[in-house]
Amino acid sequence: MKSRHQLHALVCPLDWGLGHASRCVPLIQELLSQGFKVSIAGQGNSLELLAREFPELERFSIRGFSPTYSKSGNMTGKMLGLIPSFIFYTLYENYILSRIVKVQKIDLIISDNRYGIINKKTKNILLLHQLQIQPPANAKWIGIPINLVNKLLIRRFDECWIPDYEGDDNLGGILSHPERIPSNVSYIGPLSRLDKVNDSRTKNQILAILSGPEPERSNLESILIRQLTQLNKKSTIISGKPDEKIRQSEDNNLSIIAFADTKMLNELISQSEIIICRSGYSSIMDLDRVGGKALLIPTPGQTEQEYLAERIKNQGIAYSIEQNQLKLDTDIPIAMTFNGFKSRNKQSILSTRMESLKSSLLRTSEI
């Protein structure tokens, strides 16, 4: 048998909002605790978030597919038009990755929703929560070819990890638990960089956490600034822009912060009676972790968020409202009548799965 260098893992999230990067934080923490050498790759705000959380890690820029939303609201036409761009960037990121793997001697790649981040010389894990993609209500037909392609892409990876509970009491519903599940899928439990907060939230604060692609991130920020300044309540907006090094302003009862790292975010949540945020899956995992009341605002045209918001609302957990109908003076009191999220303990599923993966990699390296 031959001796082996320290196992080297590369983690690369999609740059479409901050959720994909934020849920990679506990993954990276687990990799480091298991003795892996870890590098990070990506682009834009997602890479900047990971660089701030782990400044000691080597990072690589890999430009990938980064869609924007249609200003006309015709997301079906918009997404069909982006197919050539998706194919191009999938091939491009795969080419750049091959050079990194060769020079850095990568053993393990964890790709969060980046289908071109895969290499035949490494162990390849795809992290995602949508085994079944929700098509727009006015174009259900498109769901069949999209989900067929999605399944084919998933099967190219050695393993597909779903950050959700395996049983009926799950977070993703039909998104993560479709009727037919690919054979390489494993459920590793929800991933959140946050810790459970103290329930003594006495400062009566409203906390709004922004994320997601433009222009809708900025559109919601403008709406929230206008409406929160009219409320006689202490409020904070986290703009979700880690690329802005210094930006913090305060006007009357409203504070605006460009970016909050994990420690600051936990502190702000502990001081808040309600959280306003998108209904993205990573936000749902965070709320499942910290618990509490929430007002969910799905990104217009994003069917996944619309589905999750409606599902959670029907379960009586949190109120949701469409962005163009938002009226905080009436929506917040309604949201406070809902049951809220119940904080759940951290699961050991990820640690167990990572230990098994490490043992398998070490056995392979010694052959």
Q: Is the pLDDT of residue 72 over 80?
A: no
pLDDT band at 270 (very low <50, low <70, confident <90, very high): confident
Report the chain's terminal Cα–Cα distance, integer Å.
6
C-alpha separations of 298 from 157, 211, 216, 303, 305 in Å? 30, 11, 10, 9, 5
At residue 339, the 3 state secondary structure works out as coil
Q: Find the mean pLDDT for residues 255-269.
A: 91
Amino acid identity of residue 119, one-letter, is: N
Question: At residue 83, does pLDDT exceed 70?
Answer: yes
CB atoms within 10 A of CB 35: 9
Task: Give the integer Cα–Cα distance in Å for 215 and 212.
Answer: 9
Asked if pLDDT for residue 3 goes beyond 50, the answer is no
pLDDT over 70 (residue 225): yes
Using the predicted structure, report yes or no on whether residue 282 has a pLDDT greater than 50. yes
- What percent of the chain has a predicted confidence (pLDDT) above 70? 88
Residue 13: which pLDDT band, with cuts at 50, 70 and 90? Answer: very high
Of 295 and 91, more confident = 295
- When mean pLDDT is compared across 101-115, 254-268, 317-331, the lowest value belongs to 254-268
| Cα 282 from Cα 23, distance rounded (Å) | 7
Q: What is the pLDDT of residue 256?
A: 92
**Quick one: pLDDT band at residue 70, thresholds 50, 70, 90?**
low
The hierarchical CATH code for the domain 8-190+347-365 is 3.40.50.2000
Q: Stretch 166-188: mean pLDDT, rounded?
A: 93
| Structural domain 205-335, CATH architecture | 3-Layer(aba) Sandwich (3.40)
Identity of residue 126: L
Whether residue 226 is predicted with pLDDT greater than 60 in this model: the reply is yes
pLDDT band at 1 (very low <50, low <70, confident <90, very high): very low
Angle at 276 between CA 274 and CA 279, to 5 degrees: 125
Q: pLDDT band at 29, cuts 50/70/90?
A: very high
Best-predicted range by mean pLDDT (243-247, 324-328, 341-345): 324-328
Euclidean distance between CA atoms 268 and 143, whole angstroms:
39
What pLDDT, on the 0 to 100 scale, is given for residue 71? 53
Q: Report the pLDDT value the prediction gives residue 239, as an integer from 0 to 100.
A: 93
**Following DSSP, what letter does each residue of 122-169 receive, concatenated?**
SEEEEE-S-SSPPPPGGGGGGHHHHHHHHHHHHTTSSEEEE-S-SSSS
Residue 248 parent element (H or E): strand 248-251
pLDDT, tens only, 290-338? 999 999 999 998 899 999 999 999 999 999 999 999 999 999 999 999 9
Which one-letter amino acid corresponds to residue 331?
D
* pLDDT score for 88: 84
The more confident residue out of 343 and 246 is: 343
Contact 291, 343 (CB under 8 A): yes
pLDDT higher than 90, residue 129: yes
The CA–CA distances, whole Å, from 45 to 17, 52, 72, 326 equal: 8, 10, 25, 27
* Range list for CATH 3.40.50.2000 in the chain: 8-190+347-365, 205-335
User: Can you tell me the mean pLDDT for 172-189?
Assistant: 94
